[in-house]
Structure 1
Amino acid sequence: MTVAIRPAVLADVPVILRFVRELAEYERAADKVVATETLLADALFAQQPAAYAVVAEVDGVPVGMALYFFNFSTWTGWRGLYLEDLYVTPDARGSGVGGALLTHLAGIAVARGCTRFEWAVLDWNAPAIAFYLSKGAEPMNEWRTYRVSGDALTRLAEGA
């Protein structure tokens, strides 16, 4: 089986959204997905994209995707690549698709001068954690992620 990875195109938006929904279902958060094809198309293909995506195919059939964006480290003075979502269909798992996606993104990171390639994983997702560790990833256990959203975000923006 040969895995081909290519940049996403506008016509991929429906399959990307399907993969996002399948990932959210796997992560026990299907009810949290409010993205639409229009929102994803704008985020990925606007004049100044908010994010980028690549699609993994086997025999021309999409079997996975990775959605990423660039961030910046004040400590290093360089940009980083942040992997927002990595998804491989259940039938394609264990066949090298996930590894090929990570390798592809690492290549983008190196080519763009990034000094970091980071992502988050749910603490209960043992298969993903084992996979990432096997690729040389190191957990950042001393860091905690915080989020402000919804009404709390509005209140914070209003100075409350």
Structure 2
Amino acid sequence: MSAVTIRAARPEDAGTVLELTRALARFIKAEDWFLATLADVERDCFGEAPRYEAWLAEVKGASAGLATLFPTYSTFKAKPCLFVDSLYVDETARGYGVGKVLMRHICQLAVERGCVRVDLNVLNWNPARSFYTGLGMQETGELGMTITGPAMRSLAGLD
């Protein structure tokens, strides 16, 4: 496999961003939760007020992987952070270092932006956990939790 290149996704890549994100949803067995549309990607990644940024990994000019991220902040450290929402390597490109090149690029961005850390969540059954720990990432001991749908609306006092 030839060298992996990383580039910022452009508006004309919205369909690729959507399809790679959908492939990640399939991989983590969460396709039923996947609601994103092309219009969502165009608005939220490439619109007037982007909510996240996307980076594409390519091998021989073909899409091989995707990272989506957005800025966060550590009030304890009083410094910015980056949160990796999606990191996906196409099944045909696994084992060739695509994920490592993507993570290296994300860490370079974090350093350039003065970030104190890069965070991501990984499912406890996902074999990628060993990939992340092999890069030097540590499990924090914190348990990721979320609230959505009716429970979120109820807590907000809207139901």
Same fold (TM over 0.5): yes
**Structure-1 separation of matches of 2:40 and 2:158:** 28
**1:140: which partner in 2?**
140
**Structure-2 separation of matches of 1:51 and 1:158:** 28
Matches within 5 A, 1:6-155: 6-126=7-127, 128-141=128-141, 143-155=142-154
Percent identity, aligned pairs only? 35
**Structure-2 separation of matches of 1:104 and 1:42:** 24
Count how many residue pairs are aligned between Structure 1 and Structure 2. Answer: 158
**1:157: which partner in 2?**
156
Q: Write out the 4+ residue segments of structure 1 that deviate beyond 4 Å after TM superposition.
A: none
Unaligned runs of 5+ in 2: none
Structure-2-length-normalised TM-score: 0.95
Structure-1-length-normalised TM-score: 0.95
**Structure-1 separation of matches of 2:144 and 2:59:** 35
Q: Secondary structure at the match of 2:133?
A: helix
Q: Deviations over 1:49-77 (max 9, x none)?
A: 11001001111111111000010010000
Q: Deviations over 1:12-61 (max 9, x none)?
A: 11111111111111101111100001111111112221100100111111
Q: How far does residue 153 in structure 1 lie from its aligned partner after superposition?
A: 1.7
